[in-house]
Structure 1
Amino acid sequence: MTTSTQTFEFQSEARQLLQLMIHSIYSNKDVFLRELVSNASDALDKLRLEAFRDKDLEADTDDLHVEIAIDQDARTLTVRDNGIGMSRNDVVSLIGTIAKSGTAEFLRKLKESKDAAGSQDLIGQFGVGFYSSFMVADRVTLVTRRAGSTEGVRWESDGEGTYTIEPAEDAPQGTSVTLHLKPADTDDHLFDYTSARKVREIVKRYSDFITWPVKMASSEDGDELETVNSMKALWARSQSEVEQSEYNEFYKHISHDWNDPLETFRMQAEGTFEYQALLFIPAQAPLDLFMRERKRGVQLYVKRVFIMDDCEALMPEYLRFIKGVVDAQDLSLNVSREILQQDRQIRMIRKRLVKKVLTTVKSMMAEEGGERYTTFWSAFGAAVKEGLLDDVDNRESILEISSFASTHDAEAPTTLKDYVARMKDGQTDIYYLTGESRTIIENSPHMEAFQAKGYEVLVLTDPIDEMWVEAVSGFDGKQFQSIAKGEVDLDEKDDEKAAEAKKDFADLLAWMTTALAEDVKEVRLSTRLTTSPACIVGDAHDITPTLEKMYRASGQEMPKVKRILELNPTHPLVSGLRAAFGERAGDEGLSETAELLYGMALLAEGGELGDPARFIKLMAQRLERTL
């Protein structure tokens, strides 16, 4: 063994990584302690497995644990373990060289020996996470001795490019990492890591569920150690061992919600890759459900070590209200453990989580009374419907758990399955109308013929409804059809009578199409009106006025979409206009009447007039003549 101190240079990649660690990779400096505790946990796992495989290994395995010690006067924080430890060669190759990793190398050897059981109990990469220490320390000292060896080694560096290695006499089994902390008043150093309270808080947050005890000096007696992590992961315990009250308290802890969850469910996957999940559906929507700056996603753990709070990769945007934990056994992480690699495992876990959420909601629908489902849909239905745009693979499942207000019942929404079951004989489409409110939709001229003939119409008032109905073709073989688009043919009609009416109104329709050319593309007779004189409809593939308005509000330039003005030939105002046109075609008053007729139709559907002042002036003049 070398008896003198030697100085080495970090590899160029290591120096670059050190700078990244110090300045940019980690978004939260607290994670340095997570990394050190995780590395210590790895070392304990390795020793346990090594002792099992090598019965002659001279190692103490009686009280395996991680210990954290704080010296406020010296401003040091030490994380030590009595695990596998490292030899001098290990220290040189693992810490001075980024390309190699103790755990990664260990896993490779295990895979070569086909020891799959052992590989499941390891996490992280020692040579990478260790460097996070330099975010909070201006000097780091490591003392280690490999289990079964009598020779210890001491490593030290200020992170500037070199490190020293020297023998360490009487080094205990395992590894001790001492951080000489930066001054407390450093600009970007927000917390005092010599505070026992702060350190305990970090351990509880990131390492509460690892399988080994993490010990610190008790507040009452500095010589007595106490375990500060619970080592009890609810999702890892048998369901029969956990009371619902425990789930409720855990939910409140991670969600900051005062209420109990609406639903709690667990998942466990075994096989190619393993993970456990404990998920919750809240009982009410959070205030930030539709805010841009909202956070979403479940908490991610790997081998019970906390990785991130809002893992967006594991839960789609439309299920952003789902809370809970996913604990994976073997997940690909990048340098900082903070950002997931988009690999097959992530996509597969996400896919299964989504299906579980949707099937859980579906089971809530089947409950007697359906009260919990009603609560769920009232709170989160508008968000779930976003999935009809974003999640094509699960579109059918989302439609199955969706409910919509309809003209069938003013109080209770309907499922599409129930709507289809109530469809009239010969009805081939699912009718709907979008609008800002139920009142506007119910009073829309478009509804008249449908109400008169008893056809059920879905009443869609959420902003997202304007978009998903354009993207979703249908449900259960039935197409979605807006009653404000295209032509309507609700039942058999007298073709001869219709043809005669079309002939009688031909000249008026042609003249009005020209007179209103700036606003409409066509004026035609309507089959959807019974009491109103006119209504405005769109072509089958036109975007709705509301959707056009939404695009403009978001800053997108949209060409003006001209729509169709439909006239009710049986209304006295329309028939009177036809008679007047036949007598005095070209009269300026007729043009004003046509303009007023269009304006009234626009207002009846909740639209906005292009020139409100002119409309009011014309209306006032007409009213004056009636006096």
Structure 2
Amino acid sequence: MTADANKETLGFQTEAKQLLHLMIHSLYSSKEIFLRELISNASDAIDKLRFAALSDESLLEGQGDYQVQVDVDKEAKTITISDNGVGMNREEVVEHLGTIAKSGTAAFLESLTGDQQKDSQLIGQFGVGFYSAFIVADRVEVHTRKAGSSADQGVVWESHGESEFSVEPREKVSRGTSITLFLKEDSEEFADDFRVRSVIKKYSDHIAVPVMMLKPTPPPAAEEEESDEDVVDVPEYEAVNEATALWTRSRTEVSDEEYEEFYKHISHDFEAPRSWSHNKVEGKFEYTSLLYIPQKAPFDMWNRDMARGLKLYVQRTFIMDEAEQFLPLYLRFVKGVVDSNDLPLNVSREILQQESSVDAMRSALTKRVLDMLGKLAKKEGDEYGQFWSEFGQVLKEGPAEDFANKEKIARLLRFSSTHTDAEAQDQSLEDYVSRMQEGQEKIFYVVAENFNTAKNSPHLEVFRKKGIEVLLLSDRVDDWLMNHMQDFDGKSFQDVARGALELATDSEEDKAEQEKLQKEAEGLVERMAKVLEDKVAEVRATARLTDSPACLVVGDYDMGAQMKRIMEAAGQAVPESKPILEVNPGHPILEMLDGEQDEDRFADLAGIVFDQANLAEGGQLEDPAAYVAKLNKLLLALAGR
């Protein structure tokens, strides 16, 4: 760090430097979005001051007309965006403009691909819109003063967008922030009044504060040109945008383009939303909501502490970002605005947790989002499939968190299944039930670590033989999900790898055959149970296998293998339990095992059968080296050596 009496030169945080580079090189094809981002930030600063002034009116410094002002200078090749919002002090300038203090920064940077379009979406979701200034400028100067501080507390931040920035004190009479962009040669179009006006109309019509620009100066009349009197021109500004909060307007007055631009404003996303719902509620509680479903999942969606929630307004006054009390956690991807007429203007997060009206609004807004998704699912084409690929795993958290809406959520769930054997999760529970066989009373599913393990699970063999469909579940959340799914449309769920298998479609002949099989295998089962007593809770003969020699089954009340792996990976204690080994006595390997007289060899073979059943489930061997040694010993014996 270098410094003199007034000025400090500091280095950008490493992550900020990387993002600056990406912003400049990934978004140059969408240059004009810098203006949307900077005006959006200015609007947010005004919202924050408006809220702070509710409890401290002195912050307004006697001037309460909020506005954003945009000035262009064609000769100097600059554009300046100013606001009279909350402003910043020196510490905040360094923190907000020189570092990125967001959690998940490393994960965000790792998720960048080098693909301009994909990276631009991620950058937008990360919310670093200020850096977009460097798409068009080779130097940026920020002059700011925090509301309520004295004029000599002004600060200037300056950078060329490379490795360093400088900070120095400079007097500022008015509160708020002014950002001046010294335009690059290939971006001088943004020093043109008409060009800038068109961009503001395109992107910022919906912002609730006026965006002001100088009125175009008409050419002087002839008689005025001949006048010898000195005339002082007072610059006149006019609003370029509508300056009306979009959600307060009637749906019939708002175009799709306006809805889309408003979404980009509140979310800092560069893509249009997938769908939205604009609704005004009148009655016991009065409020307006505008809810959006994004196209893409944010990079930090699996961080349950991620910033989430709706923008909260009370009587059109901004109160807070990320009011998470209005939607449950499994809908944390939803963006939007809720404007209440009933909540107090001094409402806090603590008060929101106690307000009965908030509970009623939360319930209604949750159902509205689920209805939006239901309509999306009924549309032609792959619109819902695209939504599901982005947000399906989060929606699967719903049945455990939202008992009241469990049925609605269940109808939105999508799975892979043996009906298609395709990895795509595109089968609904309604689809499954419509294809159930006559006499079938249960919805069958298998849970595995990945799709291929699920698809090739030995537990599916009898189901394929009988033509019974099985859902293939392989997402990390699936085992937990199914613990909270008891039934659907009157049909209970059955994990095909849990407990004894009974198929309602079995004929009397099938049942008689199974009883005969179990009786004939009693001796083999008893011998295997003895040598494997440290590894299994039980060994039993089964008719569920047609091609495999054995499979592992979870006890009726034991934790599933996938859930165990997740808990172990998280360092949590896992309850002790042993699997059940089910064997197929008619398989040649088991027939060979049954006839084996050498007890040591029998023990080795039984151990190999158990380990292979474990591997088929996607499990990990406790002693891989011992397994390999046994297998090699068997191979050598078969080779006569």
Take 2:253 and 2:206, find their aligned partners in 1: how far apart are those partners?
Answer: 17
The answer to whether the Cα contact below 8 Å between 2:392 and 2:413 also exists between their aligned partners in 1 is yes
Q: 2:339 aligns with which of 324, 327, 330?
A: 327
Matched with 1:461 is 474
Q: Give, in whole Å, the separation in 1 of the partners of 2:435 and 2:382.
A: 22
- Give 1:566's aligned residue: 582
Alignment of 1:118-517 (within 5 A): 137=148, 182=153, 184=155, 194=173, 198=177, 224=236, 231-332=243-344, 334=346, 340-367=352-379, 369-411=380-422, 413-490=426-503, 491-494=506-509, 495-517=511-533
SS of the residue corresponding to residue 581 of structure 2 reads: strand
User: Can you give the 5+ residue segments of structure 1 that lack an aligned partner in the other structure?
Assistant: 1-27, 42-63, 71-76, 80-133, 139-178
Kept after mapping to 1: 8 A contact 2:279/2:288: yes
Query: How far has the Cα of 1:333 moved from its partner?
Result: 5.6
**Distance in 1 of aligned mates of 2:626 and 2:170:** 66
Question: What TM-score do you get using the length of structure 1 for normalisation?
Answer: 0.67
Partners of 1:212 and 1:293 lie apart in 2 by 31
1:307 touches 1:337 (CA, 8 Å); kept in 2? no
C-alpha distance in 1 between matches for 2:169 and 2:563 = 47
Aligned-pair CA distance for 1:497: 4.1
| Per-residue deviation, 1:266 | 0.8
CA contact (8 A) 1:522 1:565 kept: yes
Aligned runs of 1:32-47 on 2, under 5 Å?
33-35=49-51
Residues 534-573 of structure 1: matches in 2 within 5 Å? 534-573=550-589
1:217 Cα deviation after fit: 11
Q: Distance in 2 between matches of 1:245 and 1:191?
A: 41
* CA apart distance, 1:509: 1.3
- Please give the alpha-carbon distance, in whole angstroms, between the structure 2 residues aligned to 1:611 and 1:69: 68
> Once the 2 structures are TM-superposed, how far is the Cα of residue 224 of structure 1 from its aligned partner?
4.9
Q: Give how far 1:457 is off.
A: 0.4
Partners of 2:589 and 2:507 in 1: CA distance: 26
Distance in 2, matches of 1:69 and 1:481, equals 60
Q: CA deviation at 1:345?
A: 1.3
In the alignment, structure 2 segments of 5+ residues that lack a partner are 1-43, 58-62, 70-82, 86-144, 157-166, 181-199, 218-232
**Cα 1:435–1:67 shift into 2, 3 Å:** closer
For 1:424-481, what per-residue CA distance to the aligned partner results, in whole angstroms no more than 9, with x for missing partners?
1111100001112221111111111111110000011111111010111010111110
Number of the residue aligned with 2:65: 66
Q: Max radius of gyration: which structure?
A: 1
1:588 partner amino acid: D
3-state SS, counterpart of residue 421 of structure 2: strand
**In structure 2, what is the Cα distance between the partners aligned to 1:267 and 1:599?**
58
Shift in Å at residue 541 of structure 1? 2.0
Amino acid at match of 1:390: E
Give the residue type in structure 2 aligned to 1:272: K
Distance 1:338 1:252, change over 3 A: farther
CA distance in 2, matches of 1:617, 1:192: 80
- Cα displacement string for residues 351-402 of structure 1 (whole angstroms, at most 9, x for unaligned residues): 11110111111112222x2422222122211111111111111100000122
Q: Distance in 2 between matches of 1:247 and 1:211?
A: 14
Alignment of 1:82-121 (within 5 A): none
Specify the code of the residue in structure 2 equivalent to 1:388.
P
CA distance in 2, matches of 1:427, 1:65: 70
Task: Report the CA distance shift for 1:65/1:515 in structure 2 as closer, same or farther (over 3 A).
Answer: closer
Native 8 Å contact 2:154 2:169 kept in 1: no
Question: Is 1:300–1:307's contact at 8 Å kept on the other side of the alignment?
Answer: yes
Moved more, 498-507 or 317-326: 498-507
For residue 537 of structure 1, what is the amino acid of its counterpart?
Answer: V
Contact 1:289 1:321 in 2 (8 A): yes
The superposition leaves residues 132-190 of structure 1 with CA deviations (integer Å, 9 ceiling, x where unpaired) of xx98546xxxxxxxxxxxxxxxxxxxxxxxxxxxxxxxxxxxxxxxx6675759xx999
* CA distance in 2: counterparts of 1:314 and 1:576, whole angstroms: 64
Superposed displacement of residue 200, structure 1: 9.8
Q: Name the amino acid aligned to 2:564.
A: E
Identity, in percent, stands at 39
**Aligned 8 A contact 2:400 2:481 in 1:** yes
Structure 2 match to 1:603? 615
- Aligned 8 A contact 2:208 2:246 in 1: no
Contact 2:314 2:344 in 1 (8 A): no
Distance 1:575 1:275 in 2: 72
Question: How far is the alpha carbon of 1:69 from its aligned partner?
Answer: 13
1:492 Cα shift?
2.2
SS state at 2:528 partner: helix
SS in 2 for 1:327: strand
Moved more, 315-324 or 371-380: 371-380
Which of 531, 537, 542 in structure 2 is aligned with 1:521? 537
Whether the 8 Å CA contact 2:514–2:543 is kept in 1: the answer is: no
Cα distance in structure 1, aligned partners of 2:413 and 2:178: 46
Distance (whole Å) between structure 1 residues aligned to residue 524 and residue 169 of structure 2? 77
* TM-aligned CA distance change 1:336 to 1:498, over 3 Å: closer
Secondary structure, aligned partner of 2:427: strand
Three-state SS of the structure 2 residue aligned to 1:591 is helix
Structure 2 CA distance for partners of 1:507 and 1:242, relative to 1, 3 Å? same
The answer to whether the 8 Å contact 1:137/1:182 transfers is: no
Report the equivalent of 1:85: none
Tell me by how many angstroms 1:223 deviates: 6.8
How far residue 294 of structure 1 moved from its aligned partner, in angstroms, is 2.3
TM-score (norm: length of structure 2): 0.66
Preserved CA contact (<8 Å) 2:445 2:472? yes
CA–CA distance in structure 2, aligned partners of residues 552 and 264 of structure 1 = 40
SS for the counterpart of 2:521 is helix
